[in-house]
Structure 1
Amino acid sequence: MKNDNSNSRRKFLQQIGATSLVAASSPFASLANQAKAEERILQYDRKITANDKIRIGVIGYGVQGHFDLNTALKVPGVELAGICDLYTGRIDNAKEKYGNDLFTTNNYKDILDRKDIDAVLICTTDVWHARITLDALAKGKHVYCEKPMVYKINEGYPVMAAAKKSGKVLQVGSQRVSSIGYAKAKELLAAGEIGKLNMVNAVYDRQSSIGSWEYTIPKDADAMTTNWDKFIEVTEKMAFDAKKFFWWRAFKEVGTGVAGDLFIHLLSGSHFITNSKGPESIYSTGQLSYWKDGRNLPDVMSGVMQYPDSPEHSAYQLTLQVNFISGTGGQEVIRLVGSEGIIDVIGNNITVKHSLMPEAPGFGGYDSLFTFSKSMQDEMQKEYDAKWTPEQRKRKTKEDIIFKVPAGYDDHLDHFTNFFDSIRTGKKVIEDAEFGFRAAAPALACNDSYFSKKIVHWDPVNLKLK
């Protein structure tokens, strides 16, 4: 019955509409009988139109390459012009999906040489991101590069310089920063809804083999079908290993582990919401708890970062957590903790809870007062009562709020729409090279800290290791 009521209520909210936010007619019920919360649906009425045709090429047609291409093609006026992948089976898959006339290749430079391609989606192994991005910009292509933007911190500087020099659009693929939910969290924080920010707790847990990157490996995988020599062209020389090709995120030689895959989502999201330039100290630790499949990067990892007081925000501490064998079943939460409440960003939805301290200081109860002599207790009680009114001793209350995005909302589509809008209009993208590097550098520093067992010191203003 509860589910039926919730569904009916959701349909009602969608039907009546509003110019800004839609408030529920009845309060949100809590099983714990806590303070009642008002539920609101975030307005979303974005019209996507095609001003100009944009032809794209995909470089790296694996899991994310498929997702990115499928989403990009939902934007009107975007057309597929070519696909590149090293594994022959994925070339076959591309032709099966888009026809034998589709241009395909196992050499990304063939995509860049095509004059009918305006933009490329770089969805390759992390170790290839910087080189392909630099080559694409040099060829005059707009670039959508999956996160992390770079594999090593020192690769970020030439990429930022090339993006600036080229005049082309570069968008990094942490799609949550285009979410209307994140935009609402940013607005609430800036408005002082939870007082002064002092901590951010960010968690991205999973509990599945696929979530832990144990993807299915095709039966025909070998050094020839994967073009292994090309694959390791930018790495140390390694004997063929199907896991390193298809489970590459789990191996430091070609991937960046949970830091580059999931910490970076939490970093880019929290940076967007807080307007932060980044942390000044970074420490990370981890372990291999369950997925002992040959990987050399941890499956449980935590990080602690200290963000300095700045014009953008007050000083705060950020904790990061990824657990690939979490009994929660998996969760993705960014919790912003302030002096007067919390904002929980759960997926694209927002929950705001308030807790306000009374104006008067604490006195009595679990206090040292009762340990004093009776005469001292009486004297101090009289002084306290004279100074503070009963109203000043009470905790003020403020209604909690739940913000939800409309059913079917897709932040991935919004991120691609922002990318193509920028190509068409010249407006700034949500996640340019500098923003992407400000998220990538601390994430990659977590791996450096994990292996060195040392604190990494970072200059968030000048973007340099100290």
Structure 2
Amino acid sequence: MDDNKRSYSRRDIVKTLATVPVLGAFAYALLKKTDYQKQHSFNMADELGLKLYDDPEPASISNGQTIRLGIIGAGGRGRYLLEAAGFAHPNTLKHWYEQAQLNSSDTRYGDFIEQDDLNIEIRGVCDIFDVNAKEALLSCSNQEKSTELNEVSSKVKRYTDYRDLLAAADIDAVIIATPDHWHAQMGIDAAKAGKHIYIEKGLTRTIEEAFALRKAVKESGVVFQLGHQGRQTASFKKAKQLVDKNVLGKISLIEVCTNRNDPNGAWVYPIHPDANEQTIDWQQFIEPTNNHPFSAERFFRWRCWWDYGTGLAGDLLTHEYDAINQVMQLGIPHSAVASGGIYFYKDGREVPDVFQAVFEYPERDLTFMYSASLANDHYRGKVLMGHDATMKMENVLEVYPDNRSTQYRKQLDAGLISPDKPMITYQPGKNSLDGYSSATEQYFASRGLLYTHVKGKRVNTAHLHIKEWLNGIRSNKQPSCDIHQAFEEAVTAHMATIAYRENRKVYWDADKEQLI
């Protein structure tokens, strides 16, 4: 070793600290306690039979034929799903590439290029807005991920009516990313046509539609996936392991929240300058619901009206519920109450911009609470409260011991764990387990569902969700968010909507499968 360099051991550090009066003794005690906390965390994981950092193996593409897809609804969400499936517009790719050159932390281009080839072809595009359809045709032709492509492939056809797309012999499966008021009928028609279905959340606009869609899917036998890509989030899968091992003790209260504070978050989406009665098939748009004169505002900001969706319940609540449902298998609640109102966005909308719902599960001795504001950005995450510990369930998972815990009483009394520090932290993509969480780790905790980690690699969760669905088609196996999970999501959300709109407590009769 170079004489000018020296390797400092733990013993050297302890000796140095010990020479500093008072501070040395305190620092030594802190170092010893931290060592024990780390040791305790590892022992706890071993004792529970958990390998918290056994990152899931990347799902391979199932052997089999190339699957030919059609997409119905190629606007904002449809565009995103096309990208997740491996088809991006050349201009989008060019923009991502240019931004990566300017900012090394912008990894959108690299992440997209490294996505697995899902062995699919897009054969059909249906959108009733000409601009969306034109852009999607070029995206769906971009099999080679080019930034220069300017010609539409002869294999990709535009349909102006989704029924014609479903009748096409060269389409095996469909992605449905339309507004909610079209989900049920399109899903039913797709099932009857024998097309496998990936449909965006919320499942349906009404509870009656949820029953009808479930019936059609079950009778057809098609492979069905609801678009809750949180099913692929690594930390949620780890959360289930911890809950199954009773790390939290008896769970009696769950709180989930979603706050957003900008027009886009409140569904005030931009209105395209080329949107008019000549470029939008308005009559087809309003076909499943009430007649209304042409309105570009309603076309682009449809979530703000009951005719087309269910507001916060069908949008953001469903994400939060499905995340908990995959961990806890809650199913449909026994009852629901809801409240809220239009407190900030006085823009003619009908759905509330502040909304809260409380769901009761008496057979589980558990309450599930949802709360949201579209006019405040204060972050509040998913929290599972047990007798022995509390779990903050985000992309970074943290478990805090409860000060009155029975299970961890000895460790708490000995000062080995503390209620103000997580005793277990799981950060996807990290290869070690800490008994504490630094400010830096907390700062980088992800808020959304855009990415997870597989073997240390950042991956788009929607890409993984579509891959799971495609693998299910090839193996004739239903994926994680099948029609049964989708039905539970739909009924739960509709209970909250009905409770709010009718100002009453809504009950679910599980035996008769009906609301009362």
Q: Distance in 2 between matches of 1:165 and 1:396?
A: 58
Q: Distance in 2 between matches of 1:433 and 1:275?
A: 15
Q: Name which of 122, 128, 132 aligns with 1:90.
A: 132
1:345 aligns with 2:393: yes
Query: Match of 2:375?
Result: 325
Query: Match of 2:427?
Result: 404
Residues 222-371 of structure 1: matches in 2 within 5 Å?
A: 222-309=276-363, 314-328=364-378, 331=379, 333-346=381-394, 348-357=395-404
Q: Aligned AA for 2:313?
A: A
Q: Distance in 1 between matches of 2:171 and 2:251?
A: 45
Larger deviation: 293-302 or 94-103?
94-103
Q: 1:75 to 1:285 in 2, by over 3 A?
A: farther
For 1:35-94, what per-residue CA distance to the aligned partner results, in whole angstroms no more than 9, with x for missing partners?
A: 967696551331422522111100001111011121123552121111100101111212
Q: Distance in 2 between matches of 1:397 and 1:409?
A: 36
Query: Match of 1:78?
Result: 120
Q: Distance in 2 between matches of 1:286 and 1:397?
A: 43
Give the secondary-structure state (helix, strand or coil) at the position aligned to 1:409.
strand
Contact 1:42-1:405 within 8 A present in 2 as well: no
Q: 1:171 to 1:301 in 2, by over 3 A?
A: same
1:220 aligns with 2:249: no
Q: Aligned AA for 2:265?
A: G
Q: Can you give the 5+ residue segments of structure 2 that lack an aligned partner in the other structure?
A: 1-29, 43-51, 87-115, 142-150, 430-456
Give the secondary-structure state (helix, strand or coil) at the position aligned to 1:408.
strand
Give the secondary-structure state (helix, strand or coil) at the position aligned to 1:353.
strand
Contact 2:239-2:393 within 8 A present in 1 as well: yes
Contact 2:125-2:137 within 8 A present in 1 as well: no
Contact 1:51-1:77 within 8 A present in 2 as well: no
Greater per-residue strand proportion: 1
What is the total number of aligned residue pairs between the two structures? Answer: 398
For 1:250-289, what per-residue CA distance to the aligned partner results, in whole angstroms no more than 9, with x for missing partners?
A: 1111111111001011111111110122211101111212
Q: Distance in 2 between matches of 1:95 and 1:108?
A: 15
Q: Aligned AA for 2:487?
A: F
Contact 1:84-1:106 within 8 A present in 2 as well: yes
Percent identity between matched residues is: 28
Residues 440-451 of structure 1: matches in 2 within 5 Å?
A: 440-451=490-501
Q: Aligned AA for 2:343?
A: S
For 1:143-175, what per-residue CA distance to the aligned partner results, in whole angstroms no more than 9, with x for missing partners?
A: 001111111001112211211111110111111
Q: Distance in 2 between matches of 1:282 and 1:178?
A: 28
Contact 1:358-1:392 within 8 A present in 2 as well: no
TM-score (normalizing by structure 1) = 0.80
Q: What is the deviation of 1:391?
A: 7.1
Give the secondary-structure state (helix, strand or coil) at the position aligned to 1:320.
strand
Q: Distance in 1 between matches of 2:405 and 2:180?
A: 51
Query: Match of 1:419?
Result: 469
Q: Can you give the 5+ residue segments of structure 1 that lack an aligned partner in the other structure?
A: 1-28, 361-389
Query: Match of 1:380?
Result: none
Give the secondary-structure state (helix, strand or coil) at the position aligned to 1:83.
strand
Contact 1:56-1:80 within 8 A present in 2 as well: yes
Contact 2:129-2:281 within 8 A present in 1 as well: yes
Contact 1:302-1:319 within 8 A present in 2 as well: yes
Residues 15-164 of structure 1: matches in 2 within 5 Å?
A: 41=53, 43-52=55-64, 53-73=66-86, 74-97=116-139, 98=141, 99-100=151-152, 101=154, 102-164=156-218
Q: Distance in 2 between matches of 1:213 and 1:276?
A: 29
Q: Distance in 1 between matches of 2:406 and 2:257?
A: 33
Give the secondary-structure state (helix, strand or coil) at the position aligned to 2:382.
strand
For 1:341-375, what per-residue CA distance to the aligned partner results, in whole angstroms no more than 9, with x for missing partners?
A: 111112x3311111152669xxxxxxxxxxxxxxx
Give the secondary-structure state (helix, strand or coil) at the position aligned to 2:204.
coil
Q: Distance in 2 between matches of 1:349 and 1:340?
A: 20
Contact 2:388-2:405 within 8 A present in 1 as well: no
Contact 1:282-1:304 within 8 A present in 2 as well: yes
